[in-house]
Amino acid sequence: YITLTNLSEHDVNRIIEMHISPVNVSVHTMNPELRVEMMKNKNAGTSLAILKRLADAGIKLNTQLVLCPGINDGKELEYSLNELEKLYPALSSVAAVPVGLTKFRECLPRLSEYTPEGAKEVIRIVDDFGNRCKEKYGTRLAYCADEFYLKAGLSMPDEEYYEDYPQIENGVGLWKSLESE
């Protein structure tokens, strides 16, 4: 997954000209100001325009939203999903994944893990969006990482939920795939 923040104009044009597809993008949020803050990169907000350029050129996009409790979930998550939907049909999938926290966080902002209640709320938001997209487009578009279900103490969705497992490498449906195999 790339963030698009260090791509030059030449890089973007080359992706389009060579029709390199799909492109996997770590979005985090579609809110430009929040994206700058989260990524500590002045180009993070303006680089979101590259998503539209790629979509307009027919480049398929797999995206991920790395969610941080109280930062880019809740209303921000709803906003990001709705903005990403505008990229359909180039938008192939969205994975909502929880931020990975390690002990190596010196000099970094304080982040917390998802609580069971917070994980349930993320699942609710993503599933409401996914159900609406399934009805509208015939595909869910958005999926939660298995970790959210484990954290929430909920059963994994059935195999049909994951369609063709577009985000399995992101830990989305991995548990169900292993179970069915």
Structure tokens at 49: 């325009």
Instruction: State pTM to two decimals.
Output: 0.92
- Looking from the CA of 85 toward its CB, the CA atoms found within 13 Å total 18
Amino acid at 75: K
CA 18/CA 1 separation, integer angstroms: 19
Residues linked to residue 94 through DSSP beta bridges, in sequence order: 63, 142
**Is the model's pLDDT at 105 over the cut of 50?**
no
Are 143 and 96 in contact by the 8 Å Cβ rule? The answer is: yes
pLDDT tens sequence across 108-140 = 556 778 899 999 999 999 999 999 999 999 999
Give whole-number Cα distances, 13 to 7, 93, 143, 179, in Å: 10, 23, 30, 42
pLDDT tens sequence across 132-162 = 999 999 999 999 999 999 999 999 999 999 9
